[in-house]
Amino acid sequence: MSDITVIGLGAMGSALARAQLKAGRSVTVWNRSPDKAGPLVADGATAAATAAEAVAASPITITCVKSHPQTTQILRNAANALPGKTIIELSTGSAAEAEELAEMIEGAGAEWMVGIINAYPHMIGDADTVLTVVGTEQQWAAHAPVIQALGGGSVHVGDQAGMLAALFAGLFTVRQGFMWGMIYGALACKKAGIGLQTFSDLVPISMGMMKPYYDYFAATAPTASYDDPPATMRTYAAALEDVLASFETLGARDDLPRLFVEMTHKGMAEGLEDKALTAVIDVLSRDG
Ligand X SMILES: NC(=O)c1ccc[n+]([C@@H]2O[C@H](COP(=O)([O-])OP(=O)(O)OC[C@H]3O[C@@H](n4cnc5c(N)ncnc54)[C@H](OP(=O)(O)O)[C@@H]3O)[C@@H](O)[C@H]2O)c1
For ligand X, give the closer residue by CB, 9 or 82: 9
* Cα 64 from Cα 88, distance rounded (Å): 9
Stretch that binds ligand X, among 18-26, 58-66, 176-184, 188-196 (CB under 6 A): 58-66
Q: Please tell me whether residue 11 binds ligand X under the rule CB under 6 A.
A: yes
Cα separation values, 16 from 26, 125, 132, 240, Å: 13, 8, 15, 45
* Cα 155 from Cα 39, distance rounded (Å): 30
Q: Please tell me whether residue 32 binds ligand X under the rule CB under 6 A.
A: yes
Find the radius of gyration of the CA atoms of the chain.
24
Per-residue binder mask for ligand X (CB under 6 A), 71-110, x = binder:
---x----------------xx------------------
Q: What angle do CA 110, 155, 138 make, to 5 degrees?
A: 40
Residue 253: name the closest of 201, 163, 189 by CA.
189
Per-residue binder mask for ligand X (CB under 6 A), 110-149, x = binder:
-------x--xx----------------------------
> CB 227 → ligand X: shortest distance, Å?
40
Per-residue binder mask for ligand X (CB under 6 A), 33-52, x = binder:
x--x----------------
> CB 276 → ligand X: shortest distance, Å?
34
> CB 171 → ligand X: shortest distance, Å?
12
* Cα 44 from Cα 248, distance rounded (Å): 63
Cα separation values, 110 from 41, 106, 195, Å: 27, 5, 58
The number of beta carbons lying within 10 Å of the beta carbon of residue 158 is: 15
Binding residue for ligand X, selected from 29, 55, 64, 88, defined by CB under 6 A: 64
For ligand X, give the closer residue by CB, 115 or 257: 115
For ligand X, give the closer residue by CB, 65 or 134: 65
Q: Strand, helix or coil at 29? A: strand
Q: Please tell me whether residue 12 binds ligand X under the rule CB under 6 A.
A: yes
Residue 163: name the closest of 102, 208, 222 by CA.
102
* Interacting residue ranges for ligand X, rule: CB under 6 A: 8-13, 31-33, 36, 64-67, 70, 74, 91-92, 117, 120-121
